Amino acid sequence: MGTIIDGFSHILPKPFAQELNQTYPTDELRELATHTYFGDIENRVRVLDKFKIDKQVLTLARPSIWINMPKNIALKMTQQANDIMAKTAKQFPDRFIATGTLPILSEELMPEFERCIGDLGMTGIQIFANIGGKPLDDPEFRWFFAKANSTRTPIWIHPQLWHGWPQDFTLDKIFGWLFDTSLALARLVFSGIMEEYADLRIISHHLGAMIPHFSERIKGFYESRDMYPKAKFISLPKDPLDYFRRFYGDTVLNGAVHAFECGYKFFGSEHLIFATDYPFGPGRGKDWIGGTFNQIRDTHLPQTEKDQILGGNLQRLLEKR
């Protein structure tokens, strides 16, 4: 068996939480900060050892803490967050891989992109599936995809809440986040961004969300686009599903084997990334780690494909091959 890498986990470093709580306190931040194990790096190492996970990608939790943040504060806190994330990962350099976070995609943050990848030695960038309610294909954000494409920098896309979504029963997160991811991926395809930038390496949370399940519906609407002139479809030179299959889907399905099988059939083993969503979920995140391993085990894949999913695919992306 090769190296096992958890490709999408979350962390809220205590120094960042404290600083942000002084600068821009929110209910989301206060609720998350009460779960102190989110920032407990030593406990995280023990959990990795328990499940025999060699390395883990750290992404900053949680997207909703940035909602409506004034731009000047967001720029300042982005720099501080990335500094702290890089420092946190360097405590255990053989176990953790840090990503930078760009909560907004203003061109003012282009130097921060370069600083994360260059000075801080981060392996990639986390962005959100909508930026203040604006879709990712907005012309204002084109610079980001051009930069990610030219540098072959891996991009982690995490869903974001929309203003006004009902929070009853956390349906905004259970279902809303999957809808948001699906919209973001579809707009990257149908706007032509995936066609224009052939070297984009995008890791989508929750195994591409709705995309694998509704792939034929997606294709069918595109092929009958003359029925929907207001939709403003552009003509793509390839089958639209070819572009969707260029995304990498992580295995965060919380133990649902049937959903994993659907994603596997759509993306193929070479575009699946093992990930756990740790430390979210029951049992302080441990239950979902076990469930994710079960997804892969119970699907009875060849060992070569398991090795690809558990670490080989992500390793290839990190090495920018």
Q: What pLDDT is recorded for position 166?
A: 80
- Cα 81 from Cα 104, distance rounded (Å): 13
pTM of the model: 0.96
From first to last of the 321 residues of the chain, give the pLDDT tens digit: 789 999 999 999 999 999 999 999 998 899 888 899 999 999 999 999 999 999 999 999 999 999 999 999 999 999 999 999 999 999 999 999 999 999 999 989 999 999 999 999 999 999 999 999 999 999 999 999 999 999 999 999 999 988 777 888 999 999 999 999 999 999 999 999 999 999 999 999 999 999 999 999 999 999 999 999 899 899 999 999 999 999 999 999 999 999 999 999 999 999 999 999 999 999 999 999 999 999 998 999 999 999 999 999 999 999 986
Q: Which domain holds residue 101?
A: 5-318
Per-residue confidence (pLDDT) for residue 320, from 0 to 100 = 80
Q: How many residues does the chain have?
A: 321
Predicted pLDDT at 164: 75
> Any idea what the CATH number is for the domain that residue 267 is in?
3.20.20.140
Q: What is the number of domains present in the chain?
A: 1
